[in-house]
Amino acid sequence: MHMHSLNWLAILVAAISTMVIGFLWYSHLLFAKPWMKEMGYDPNDKAKTEEMKKTLARRMAGPLLPA
């Protein structure tokens, strides 16, 4: 496959839209509280919150890989 035949704009839009949907899905507007309860996370646990922040960058790169 030639790299110049890829639609880079479509790839970028698809990756960003996946991240936006994920941010909304796990936000306090939708399902953050039930998700944290079911996963056993305590929102006041600072150590666990910091651990989750560290993995955020790797998870943001995830949607770009299949594209």
pLDDT in the model for residue 12: 87
Mind listing the pLDDT tens digit for each residue in 24-59? 888 888 988 888 888 888 878 878 777 777 777 677
19 in Cβ contact with 60 (< 8 Å):
yes
CA 46/CA 53 separation, integer angstroms = 11
User: Against a cut of 0.75, is the pTM above it?
Assistant: no
pLDDT in the model for residue 54: 73
Residue among 24, 43, 48 nearest 33 (CA): 43
CA 35/CA 24 separation, integer angstroms = 13
27 in Cβ contact with 20 (< 8 Å):
no
Question: Which of the four pLDDT bands, split at 50, 70 and 90, describes residue 6?
Answer: confident
Give the E-state strand segments of the chain in sequence order. Answer: none
Question: Which of the four pLDDT bands, split at 50, 70 and 90, describes residue 64?
Answer: low
